[in-house]
Amino acid sequence: MTQRVCFQLRINPDLADEYKERHANVWPEMLSALSETGWRNYSLFLGSDGLLTGYLECDDFETSVRRMGETAINEKWQASMAKFFVGLDGGAPDGAMAPLEEVFHLD
């Protein structure tokens, strides 16, 4: 069964242009690792205030996050992206992805 996951994080809006540029050029190794660890239909949406909303589909979110966290490329990507995020208290962005409760889905 496919699990649909939505989460929110916050980036510094002053760095939004650079954040978007980084995602226009995601490393091919990172894209492969996401696919190989079960991330499907992954999208990010950014508000002008820095609110970042992510959506993905996977078989099991906790397993997909854990498997991705075990890859060397994810460690490098998270370290390179950490400067964009606010409110993480030194943690990696992927460690702060807490799924929102789904209350409706039009099937």
The domain tally of the chain equals 1
**d(Cα 90, Cα 101) in Å, to the nearest integer?**
26
Q: What is the pLDDT of residues 25-54, one digit of tens each?
A: 999 999 999 999 999 999 999 999 999 999
CATH number for the domain that contains residue 48: 3.30.70.100
Inside any domain, residue 62: yes
CB atoms within 10 A of CB 2: 10
Query: Active-site residue 105, yes or no?
Result: no
Inside any domain, residue 105: no
CB atoms within 10 A of CB 58: 22
Q: Which residues form the domain of 14? A: 3-96
- Among candidate residues 2, 4, 12, 23, the one labeled active-site is 23
CA 16-69-93 angle, to 5 degrees, is: 25
Inside any domain, residue 26: yes
pTM: 0.91
Q: Which two tokens stand for residue 53?
A: 């909303």
CB burial class (10 A; 0-12, 13-18, 19+) of residue 46?
middle
